[in-house]
Amino acid sequence: MHSILVKDYMDRKPHAINEEATVRDAIALFMKEQIPGAPVVNKQKVLIGFISEQDCIKEMLNDAFYCEESRSVTTVMSRDVRTVSPETSVLELAEAMSKAPPKNYPVTDNGKLIGLLSRKHILTALIETNEDCYIHHQT
């Protein structure tokens, strides 16, 4: 079986949120792009966190209860983000994903966000690999 790498399947233009954005800005992006979360980057495009719909729900509940303005994404985002290299094996990552979250992996190169790999990308790679195996076994 040939090696399938993250760089061959990742989204090369992921929707990222600037560290200066508010939680409301993040929600607007999630709704517009129909995504469940996004990497948070600084001005140099260095990954500093990840914000999810779940993070936003908690914050918006608090805002509604106390009638407060939406805070910065950096106050609610997860800072402990699992990242992958573009050279990571998709099969190894799929095995790890099958056992535990996260649903999305930011792809970084020297700390800079260069892509995003989601479950959808993993499934695409696995389907293509399985089809290649099937065709190879038929000949």
Q: Assess contact for 95 and 124: CB atoms under 8 A.
A: no
Tokens 């760089």, residue located: 7
How many other CB atoms are there within 10 angstroms of residue 92's CB atom? 11
Residue 114 lies in a domain: yes
Domain that holds residue 15: 6-138
Q: Assess contact for 136 and 112: CB atoms under 8 A.
A: no
- What's the confidence (pLDDT) of residue 2? 57
CATH number (domain holding residue 114): 3.10.580.10
- What's the confidence (pLDDT) of residue 1? 47
- The Cα 131–Cα 135 span in angstroms is 6
Residue 1 lies in a domain: no
Supply the DSSP symbol for 107. E
List the pLDDT tens digit at each of the 139 positions of the chain: 457 999 999 999 999 999 999 999 999 999 999 999 999 999 999 999 999 999 999 888 876 666 777 789 999 999 999 999 999 999 999 988 888 878 899 999 999 999 999 999 999 998 888 765 555 555 5
- What's the confidence (pLDDT) of residue 61? 82
